[in-house]
Amino acid sequence: MQIVLYSASWCRDCRAAKHYLSEHGIAYEEIDIEETPGAAEEVIRRVGKRAIPQMVIDGEWFQPYRPGEGLLYVELNRRLGVSV
């Protein structure tokens, strides 16, 4: 499984997503939208707004959080095959 995480250092939900992935031993590539030229524009092009974190799981874009609710742990578990 190939996972790319679009994030930024100031983003609380991004830090939670990175913690979740690390806690479960899931390898991922991180792209910081503030530091990587064109990354913010790619997020906007793909999802219509500058909303992070965004995950790309085997080529499929997925927003692993919902504003006001935080990280979607149940959905992440399902998509990434994590048993709890």
- What does the domain layout of the chain look like in residue ranges? 3-80
Tell me what pLDDT residue 68 has: 87
pLDDT of residue 67: 86
What is the architecture, at CATH level 2, of domain 3-80?
A: 3-Layer(aba) Sandwich (3.40)
Global confidence as pTM: 0.92
**pLDDT value at residue 33:** 97
Tell me the β-bridge partners of 55: 5, 62
CB hemisphere CA count around 63 (13 angstroms): 14
Q: Flag whether pLDDT at 3 surpasses 90.
A: yes
| pLDDT tens-digit readout, 16-59 | 999 999 999 999 999 999 999 999 999 999 999 989 999 999 99
* CA pair distance 40, 55, nearest whole angstrom: 13
